[in-house]
Structure 1
Amino acid sequence: MNQIYNEVTNKKAKNSIWKEIIFKLSDESVKTVHIGVYPSHGRYFRKKMKYKGGGIFKIGIDLPKGKFFYHFFFNNKFDSPKNDEQFVISKYDYQKKASFVLETEIFCPIQFSNKPHCISHIKDDIWEVRLITHQKWISHVALVEGTEEYPFSIAYTEKNVTFWFARLKFVKSEINFCIKFNGSNQTKYLHDNHKICDSPITEFLFTTPLEKRNDYLPFRVGYQVFPDRFHRIPEEKNSLNLVEWGGEPTYSSLFGGNIKGIISKLDYIAGLGFDFIFLNPIFFSKSYHRYDCIDYERIDPVLGDEADFNELIEKAHRLGLKVILDISLNHCSTDFFAFKDILENQAKSAYLNWFEIEQFPLFDETRHYYSSWHGYKDMPQFNFDEKEVQQYFMNVARYWPQKFNIDGWRLDVASEMPVSFIKEFVTSSRKVKPDLMIIGELWDNSLSDFVVDSGLDGITNFSLYLDSLIPFFQYESVSISNLVLSIMKVQSRNSFSVNQSSWNFLSNHDIARFYSIIKDKRKYSLAFTLIYGIFGTPIIYYGEENCMNGLADPDNRQCMEFESGETSDFVHETIKKLNRIKAAYENIFNFGSIAFPLVDNKNKVMIIQRSYAKDSIFLVFNFDDIDHQYLHPITYSANKEADASMVAKIKRYSAEIFFINEENGTFELL
């Protein structure tokens, strides 16, 4: 069995960590080992490890803090990544990625910093302050500003970790404060730079400018469409040499799903209650997935033409559906005009600086000599230091919202591109349409500075998926309390607005379909209810509502199945109901706080409370295979002492949703 040893030492800049990886291998046929690394921020890279004898390979690398992924290659076989199965994030991941977290935090009883992920504007003059305490003796927390004290409430406690929040009203442009925490007959005050004092000290106070953001953009729930696999009109094959619709997909299958097919199903999507659709790339490309773009200002002819796309946008908008496009700015096709010129003119090309070229000729029998996405030679990576590359993409940023009135972007592999470039792309897009929603693909949710500095609205929330949903629903390896602890940790890393805009999902085109991997399929609809109930924007991958199966790529990209059976009918109706509730109680889900008033590991019952002003939504879950009794949400809403009349029952594998208004006593089972 392979053995991996990790030795971490602080050796370089404060935002990176020197990491030494020692890899022990018992297979004597392996003569060379390369490690491939997906850093939390920056481009994938591959390096050869040094052989130290005795089957031991070693390498030292400097990495940014956060979660990174890695895999290995033996004997220069770069098309066959390797890893020990007990380390990989999923046995269905053909890239065999394993994860490792690099964190360096100054220990403090209170985890708090003067940044947007701890102090967020909510709406109007309302702000939310969040922090985490790590010692049991702390029983009360308050924000102290001058002579005023603002107490915090508990969102969740697990052992010695407590998540606190306070909703405060400020009408000023700046606050100067410290954090008071007390218990066990002692009181302390947290100041800037982790300074803890016995009383407030003016010169050490936190100073925070209160800059309001625009109200939350109205993107409640989304539906992801993979264009080649969704629907084809006309349904018969044409001259494009398409694969028979519904056949087994391969890495190169072209089924011919098109824009006309999507248009014909917009009523279906709107009827489910979604308010936006997310389209995987539609730009002219060589492949069915279209992440290897040839022309960023041309629709792939297989999909249709500009008239078709205009019709899609116009009909979607009439139905109340916004349209978000997926775009891969980091890399392109070898047929992209600039790279094609390099292939033709070699060192004399006028576009040499558009890419990162090592030497000529660009290819030999064993490898290619230019930077490419994750080592795939058909996807050369752009050099974003080149001004002409920047200008080209700023034109693209303006082109689609200006000509077609699109409503947003999802930026593929955003963490692999420079913050400054993304910021410029975001700014250029919004000069045309200020309310564009722009989401970045991130596999690590610890890059709060990256998200804020780049101007992104939100991210693809892979951390929620990998750290919370998979351990609980697929492996069933964690308790409900650990599920909640993980959810709270994920949401503590970014600001309230970023959390709200970020996409929560169970499946997408990069991972196995959730219905295929969830251990107990009776919990499938509960998983949807969970991602709707917490912070974030739920996005449903095409066919999930009909319980489509599919493991690793390409199996997770099968042709859409619109028919549903008895089980999928229930899921179908669950999603419609969740979308209806999300729309009807928009203020609560857009601006509401979150708390977990009940987490019962023994009976597998959990309650989520979302509250805004005097209104609350309670989501009650029973993950067990038997019915259970629990205290009715009215007890938590009104802070009443429990009695027999307040005991309710929830059926096995079910979720109930309640609306309660504390002011007038309104109560409703939704």
Structure 2
Amino acid sequence: MKKGGLPLILILLTAIVSGCISGETQNQTGTTSSSVPTTATSPVLTSTSPYSPPPKGEFGLPEGNYRAIYTGLDKSCPTGRVPVRFAYYSGNETVKSVSLRGSFNNWAEWPMKEENGTWSTTVCLRPGKYEYKYFINGQWVKDMSDDGTGRPYDPDADGYADDGYGGKNAVRLVEGKESFYVEFDPGNPAYLSVADNRTVVRFEAKRKAVSSAVLVTDRGNYTMKLQVWWDSGEVWRTEVPFVEPMRYYIVINSADGGRFLVLNTSESPFFSFDGIDRFPQLEWVSNGIAYQIFPDRFNNGNESNDALALDHDELLLNQVNPGRPLLSNWSDPITPLHCCHQYFGGDIKGITEKLDYLQSLGVTIIYLNPIFLSGSAHGYDTYDYYKLDPKFGTEEDLREFLDEAHKRGIKVIFDFVPNHCGIGNPAFLDVWKNGKQSPYWDWFLIKRWPFKLGDGKAYVGWWGIGSLPKLNTTNPEVREYLIGAALYWLDFGFDGMRVDVPNEVLDPATFFSELRERVKEKHPDAYLIGEIWTLSPEWVKGDRFDSLMNYALGRDILLNYARGYLSGEAAMKMMGRYYASYGENVVAMGFNLVDSHDTSRVLTDLGGGSLGDEPTNESIQRLKLLSTLLYTLPGTPVTFQGDERGLLGDKNHYDEQRYPIGWDQVNEDVLNHYRALAELRMRTPALRSSAIRFYTAKNGMMAFFRGHDDEVLVVANSWNRPAKLELPQGEWRILWPEGRMGVTVLGSIEVPGVSVLILERS
């Protein structure tokens, strides 16, 4: 559903580091780094000479000249970042939560703490100009310059800027000087994680500032390789072929001949990994292929339950915007009710009937949009979190579906909506009837009572919508009700859940850490996905989700590259920031999608037209390019129902992307392409691995390695004209496209326009 810890910095200076900034900060601040020279009694290792370890059987620091970088002093901002305090005085207003959101954290939610009526947080920021807003009691502040009394929400703001929605963001100007830097934090999975049963260690550095690096452990030394890059930075990576306790440090040779050791503290210089994987990768996700189903529009297996949708539709309860829902035949035209209140009769039995079809697509994971009792076709206004909506069938139908899916090796994920419910929820109806006498009064955020059902001004609703009253998840009773429901359906037989708008849930840190802890305790292999649309690594550090809905990869990067809007170089740099931000275990569990029920269909986005049009040959070719990239990246590729059949749909026309699948219509070329991609992925282990490393990018072309030994090379060209690629050394055998499979090449290869080549080392 959609309406619309920064990593620690270790600054490596070529001169003696100045004094550190003191003062307490939140986790966003990172840790302190310092640099001290060692003795110069031994020859200095240069960037052109190999690292010389201690004698065999010993583990210690090398002799020679180097600068030590201590990272284990979690006290202040690293050199090169500035502590910036954000504050809000609530006065006499009742405030339960305040969060900071801004351009410095991709508008994600950083909770602020209250003391004596003032909510505040301090974060470490690099020099620059930032826009931000406060998120109070689950609602965005409209105008940061006026809190309703003529005072600004943040008295320390340096100015204001139009937010594009009729309001104002606050502006902060952070002064300082950018320096050469390296980032490493073993507590962050972006720097140390367990993926594919290997221990992966990485660090970030300023672009082209490092010439070589070695991970030194008490079990041996491991050469680090440049993995990914972008305009200002890059990531170096190595993997240790075991998951066992080890002590280690990192040796870095800089491009200007400097020598640095990344250490823990002066008293305890070695990092220590205890060999315990506290954020396990789910291999069934990494090896999987996912398919999203919007149940009312997928397939009608039982017409006798179709009319049951009409007796509890939200429009029948709404006293502000009442109306009548519509039951349509499968191929009836779209009406203005199509988004939410035009029903077509799709159900659970209809999905069960199509399981063999889904299996032919290589599908191993099904993600279902909401199926619990609600007042709409989309289901995001839940009435009863513990009851299947009868319009979709009975619990016996659901049991049969799950059993049949599991027989075929297919896992099933349900959609979970903890931020808001529907006006037909019994707890909300009790508040509507009884006001403060209701035992559920504190389950919601009521502004005035009595009120009419559907009046978004009388209580807090999702984005102010009166049919979607917001739940007060700071209330332990509400948390217990919701988490209990999640556990109920996992116990029933589901294999995971996708969580709707988690960034808007009140006190998300408490709620989602408790949800994860209790889910993983009973169902350790359950897959937890958060609907976050932006690059937001703070949600996937082991205490909340396994993955996010990766629109930041699929739409922001891959779609725009496939459209030809981004060059290969630009797309690869954006991918560099993406892969640098997440742990390799998280990347391996990526829920990688381009379109969904909340967007136009991918073929429409690629210029194929709207529902009922005939897509152009070029749009089909660009769909093939984009889907091939999706199937060759780490994580699980996700297909929205019908994309594999060449369906079209424009979100701006009453969400026509949700129109029912016409099973008598199919683009066979597209369907065969998706089936071939599934076969390619299943027979090529490197494409299911966690490992990716960039090779090159130029003009419309980009190329990257897959696999732990760079054994597969994926080359894409989004421009219409051919491109020439100089291949890595050795012979390469073509795996894709099928028409050239098995051909051996070396030296260079021509990449046709709007196409992908996949090669494997011979």
Unaligned runs of 5+ in 2: 1-81, 88-97, 105-131, 157-161, 311-325, 608-617, 734-743
Query: Which sits farther off after the overlay, 293-302 or 210-219?
Result: 210-219
Range that drifts further, 569-578 or 424-433: 424-433
Q: 1:228 to 1:272 in 2, by over 3 A?
A: same
User: In the alignment, which residue of structure 2 is the partner of 1:599?
Assistant: 697
Deviation of the 1:46 alpha carbon: 4.5
* 2:410 aligned residue: 321
Closer/same/farther in 2, CA of residues 390 and 348 from structure 1, 3 Å limit: same
* C-alpha deviation, 1:333, in angstroms: 0.8
Instruction: State whether structure 2 residue 666 is matched by structure 1 residue 581.
Output: no
Does 262-271 or 451-460 show the bigger shift?
A: 451-460
Distance 1:365 1:632 in 2: 62
**How does 1:531-546 map onto structure 2 within 5 Å?**
531-546=630-645
Distance 1:435 1:343 in 2: 40
2:142 is equivalent to residue 47 of structure 1: yes
Contact 1:373 1:379 in 2 (8 A): yes
Instruction: Sort the Cα spacing of 1:324 and 1:170 in 2 relative to 1 into closer, same or farther, 3 A.
Output: closer
Is the contact made by 2:370 and 2:414 (CA closer than 8 Å) also made in structure 1? yes
| 1:479 alignment counterpart | 567
1:414 matches 2:512: no
Task: Give the letter for the 2:514 counterpart.
Answer: E
Equivalent residue for 2:276? 211
Aligned twin of 1:232 = 300
RMSD over aligned Cα atoms? 3.8
Q: Which residue of 2 aligns with 1:617?
A: 712
CA distance in 1, matches of 2:391, 2:454: 33
Aligned CA distance change for structure 1 residues 130 and 159 (closer, same or farther; 3 Å)? same
AA in 2 matched with 1:657:
I
Q: CA deviation at 1:540?
A: 0.4
1:72 corresponds to which of 141, 148, 165: 165
Stretch of structure 1 that moved more, 201-210 or 341-350? 201-210
In structure 1, the partner of 2:59 is none
Q: CA contact under 8 A between 1:276 and 1:322: conserved in structure 2? A: yes
Which of 355, 378, 386 in structure 2 is aligned with 1:297?
A: 386
For the residues of structure 1 that align with 2:175 and 2:366, how far apart are their CA atoms?
39
Contact preservation (8 Å) 1:17, 1:102: no
Q: Secondary structure at the match of 1:294?
A: strand
Q: Structure 1 residues 515, 524: closer, same or farther in 2, change over 3 A?
A: same
TM-score when normalising by structure 2: 0.69
Query: Residues 267 and 401 (structure 1 numbering): CA distance in 2 closer, same or farther, change over 3 Å?
Result: same
Look up the match of 2:749.
648
Equivalent residue of 1:506, what SS?
A: coil
**Counterpart selection for 2:647 from 548, 557, 564:** 548
Q: Residues 81-108 of structure 1: CA distance to partner in whole angstroms, max 9, x if unpaired?
A: xx9xxxxxxxxxxxxxx9x999999854
Partner of 1:425: 515
Decide whether the 8 Å contact of 2:375 with 2:422 is kept in 1.
yes
Give the C-alpha shift of residue 159 in structure 1.
5.5
> Residue type matched to 2:204 in 1?
I
The corresponding residue for 2:525 is: 435
| Residue 245 of structure 2 is aligned to residue 173 of structure 1 | yes
Matches for 1:116-195 after TM superposition, within 5 Å: 116-124=189-197, 126-145=198-217, 149-158=221-230, 161-169=233-241, 172-191=244-263
Indicate conservation of the 8 Å contact 1:38/1:44, yes or no. no
Whichever residue aligns with residue 465 of structure 1, its letter is G
1:301-327 per-residue CA deviation (whole Å, 9 max, x = no partner) reads 111111111111111112221111111
Measured after TM superposition, the shift of residue 370 of structure 1 is 2.0
Asked whether the 8 Å contact 1:42–1:415 carries over to 2, the reply is: no
What does residue range 85-484 of structure 1 map to in structure 2 within 5 Å?
A: 108-114=180-186, 115-124=188-197, 126-145=198-217, 149-158=221-230, 161-169=233-241, 172-191=244-263, 203=268, 206-212=271-277, 214=280, 216-219=282-285, 220-234=288-302, 239=307, 242-246=327-331, 247-249=333-335, 250-251=338-339, 252-362=341-451, 367-403=456-492, 405-417=493-505, 418-448=508-538, 450-474=539-563, 476-484=564-572
Cα gap change, 1:157/1:348 in structure 2, threshold over 3 Å: closer, same or farther?
A: closer
Match of 2:76 in 1: none
8 Å CA contact retained: 1:501, 1:537: yes
User: Residue 518 of structure 1 contacts residue 524 of structure 1 at CA under 8 Å; is this kept in 2?
Assistant: yes
Distance change (3 Å), C-alpha of 1:440 and 1:17: closer
Q: Which amino acid aligns with 1:499?
A: V
The 1:389–1:305 alpha-carbon spacing in structure 2 relative to 1, beyond 3 Å, is: same
On the 8 A contact 1:371/1:380 being kept in 2, the answer is yes
Q: Size of the alignment, in residue pairs?
A: 587
Structure number with greater Rg is: 2
Q: Which runs of 5+ in 1 are unaligned?
A: 1-7, 21-36, 64-68, 75-82, 84-97, 194-200, 661-666
2:417/2:500 contact within 8 Å kept: yes
Alpha-carbon offset, residue 160 of structure 1 = 5.4
Q: Distance in 1 between matches of 2:172 and 2:672?
A: 39
Q: Which residue of the partner structure matches residue 55 of structure 2? A: none
- Give the SS at the match of 2:668: helix
The CA distance in 1 between the partners of 2:590 and 2:134, in whole Å, is 20
> Counterpart in 2 of 1:24?
none
Instruction: Give 1:576 shift.
Output: 1.3
Mapped contact 1:362–1:368 kept (Cα < 8 A): no
Following TM superposition, by how much is the alpha carbon of 1:483 offset from its aligned partner in structure 2, in angstroms? 0.3
- Displacement after TM superposition at 1:383 (Å): 1.2
Contact 1:221–1:537 (CA under 8 A) maintained in structure 2? yes
Could you say if the C-alpha distance between residues 18 and 441 of structure 1 is closer, same or farther in structure 2, counting changes exceeding 3 Å? Answer: closer
Pairing 1:23-34 to 2, within 5 Å after superposition? none
Q: What residue identity is the alignment partner of 2:461?
A: S
Distance of 1:19 and 1:60 partners within structure 2: 17
CA-CA distance at 1:177 after TM superposition: 1.8
- Structure 1 residues 41 and 206: CA distance shift in structure 2, 3 A: farther
Report how far residue 582 of structure 1 moved: 2.1
Task: Report the CA distance between 1:173 and its aligned residue.
Answer: 2.5
> Matched residues in 2 for 1:635 and 1:225: separation?
44
One-letter amino acid of the structure 2 residue matched with residue 460 of structure 1:
M
Q: Residue type matched to 2:672 in 1?
A: E
List per-residue Cα deviations over 1:448-471 (Å, max 9, x = no partner). Answer: 3x3225342111112213431343
Q: 1:336, 1:366 → 2: CA distance?
A: 15
Greater mean deviation of Cα atoms: 497-506 or 208-217: 208-217
Contact 2:635 2:690 in 1 (8 A): no
What is the alpha-carbon distance in structure 1 between the residues aligned to residue 476 and residue 723 of structure 2?
Answer: 63
**Alignment pair present for 1:523 and 2:622:** yes
**Partner SS, residue 512 of structure 2:** helix
Say if 1:563 and 1:657 are closer, same or farther in 2 by CA, change over 3 A.
farther
Deviates more, 1:141-150 or 1:371-380: 141-150
What is the rounded CA distance, in whole Å, between the counterparts of 1:366 and 1:624 in structure 2? Answer: 51
Listed one character per residue, the Cα deviations across residues 85-143 of structure 1 (whole Å, up to 9, x for unaligned) are xxxxxxxxxxxxx9x9999998542233231111111244x211222321434211223
Task: Name the residue aligned to 2:110.
Answer: none
Corresponding residue of 2:659: 558
